[in-house]
Structure 1
Amino acid sequence: MKKIEASMAGTVWKVLVEVGEEVTAGQTVIILESMKMEIPVEVMMDGKISVLHTAEGEFVNDGDVLLELE
């Protein structure tokens, strides 16, 4: 399992994937909002979303696990 973490603190503005969805390296899976800026969270490898640890509207801190790939 590969864990995808938040790179900074912010609010989850948009979740672009669902559990079970196949993703490819470089794909944006979540968009965070911090200080009126949108920050895309991308996966660095191909895989399948196994767990989502967050939902739209939730606040996350730097280093929080957002999702896991298998």
Structure 2
Amino acid sequence: MSEVAAPMPGTIVQILVKEGDQVSEDQDVMILEAMKMENPIAAPAGGAVASITVKEGDKVDAGQVLMTIE
């Protein structure tokens, strides 16, 4: 199982996948807005999205787990 964590504090502006979706390594799965810039967050590994622990509009901290991939 792989965890997708926030690389920096910010706000989740878009979630590009849903639970159950298949993703590939380095595929963008979320957009995090930080310092007025939109930063894509990529999957660290391929697999199925097991859980998404945030929703659009949530403020997150650096290192916070955003989703898990099995």
Aligned position for 1:13: 13
CA offsets per residue over residues 33-57 of structure 1, 9 Å max, x none?
A: 0121001100121110000000000
Please say if residues 48 and 69 of structure 2, whose CA atoms lie closer than 8 Å, have aligned partners that are also in contact: yes
What secondary structure, in the 3-state scheme, does the structure 2 residue paired with 1:25 have? coil
In 2, the alpha carbon distance for the partners of 1:2 and 1:20 equals 14
Alignment-derived partner of residue 65 in structure 2? 65
**So what's the TM-score if we normalise by structure 2?**
0.96
Q: Following superposition of structure 1 onto structure 2, how do residues 1-70 of structure 1 map, counting pairs within 5 Å?
A: 1-70=1-70
> Hey, which bits of structure 1, 4+ residues long, moved more than 3 A?
none
> What is the aligned-residue RMSD (CA, Å)?
0.6
Identical-pair percentage: 39
Once the two structures are superposed, residues 6-47 of structure 1 have per-residue CA deviations (whole angstroms, 9 ceiling, x without a partner) of 000000010000000000011000000012100110012111
Aligned AA for 2:24?
Answer: T
- Unmatched runs of 5 consecutive residues or more in structure 1: none
The aligned amino acid for 2:69 is L
